[in-house]
Structure 1
Amino acid sequence: MVCRMFRIEAEVDKARRDLLHSRLRETNTAASPVLAALRGTTAERQLPLHIWAMTGADELAGGLVGHTWSTWLQVTYLWVDAVHRGTGLGSRLLAEAERAAREDRACRAARVETWDFQAPDFYRKRGYEVVGVVPDFPPGVTEFTLTKKLA
């Protein structure tokens, strides 16, 4: 018999979040031959990828934070300090992340989300193509999803 009574809760709960994530992954893996083929391989896990640019005074000049999963690089954050913008540092950080993803982790593609006031043109100039647009997210702003083949 299926229980039809539920208690709905709205609270931050790391253990439940992790359980939900695990169960979702199991469901997705069972439904997808591609995900099933990754099971037990290093490509199955999300592996952090961090690239840092430090000044001679050991201060953060810029950095890229992302992860690799399957055959993809996901760029989460890319930031360059204002005094170093326009010097090519952002391009160097992105190129190094792409190189590491491609050569060290066998990634074939990269993806990034960015807002219209951030860097869609920066990524386009580096070979990324817009594959998704979400207008008014957040209100008054457009979000772009861009991808690039790394092979």
Structure 2
Amino acid sequence: MTIWAIAEATQEEVKSGELGRRLRHFNYAFVGEYPEAQPVWLNAKDEEGRTIGGLRGYVFLYWLQLDVLWVDEAVRAAGLGSELLAQAEARAKHLGAHSAKLETFEWQARGFYVKHGYKEFGRIDNHTKGFYLAFMMKSL
């Protein structure tokens, strides 16, 4: 019988990337070698240098995963979100991505993503206080 102990990972263990490396090597047997996750991080600043928008995502296994797209209320509907999304998608294609995926709550930006060609492929109803979480994707 194997005996083990489970403990919270140390910062050093997290930074080492060992788990990701081990999983990646396991995956290689199925899909071949692929690059490590590649960040797609963009910031938008106004003329005073204040952050007014930004995007955080990464390309992994040839998909762009969008984690955060935020635009300050003062400049919403001016096209900044569309520009951030277009630049992220272009960067992701350059990094080898063929598709993009994201999650968004119904009170956030589902309509914005539909306008940009994303399709809902699933949802979790009543995820938070009666609101659903939508899963969306798009071919790049």
> TM-score range with shorter-chain normalisation?
0.7 to 0.9
1:44 aligns with 2:44: no
CA distance in 2, matches of 1:50, 1:20: 23
Partner SS, residue 135 of structure 1: strand
Shift of 1:12: 4.2
CA distance in 1, matches of 2:135, 2:90: 21
Q: Deviations over 1:52-105 (max 9, x none)?
A: 211111111111111112321111110000100111110111011111212x21
Comparing 136-145 with 125-134, which one deviates more in the overlay?
Answer: 136-145
Q: Identify the structure with the greater strand proportion.
A: 2
The correspondence for 2:112, drawn from 109, 122, 131, is 122
1:13 aligns with 2:10: yes
CA distance in 1, matches of 2:131, 2:22: 34
Q: Deviations over 1:94-147 (max 9, x none)?
A: 011111212x21321111111111111110110000112112223422111111
CA distance in 2, matches of 1:13, 1:46: 22
The correspondence for 2:73, drawn from 76, 82, 91, is 82
Shift of 1:16: 6.4
Shift of 1:44: 1.9
CA distance in 2, matches of 1:85, 1:95: 16
1:109 aligns with 2:99: yes
Query: Structure 1 residue runs of 4+, over 6 Å off?
Result: none
CA distance in 2, matches of 1:106, 1:20: 24
The correspondence for 2:127, drawn from 122, 130, 137, is 137
Amino acid at match of 1:136: N
Which structure 1 segments of 5+ residues have no match? none
**RMSD (Å), alpha carbons:** 2.0
The correspondence for 2:85, drawn from 87, 94, 100, is 94
Shift of 1:24: 2.9
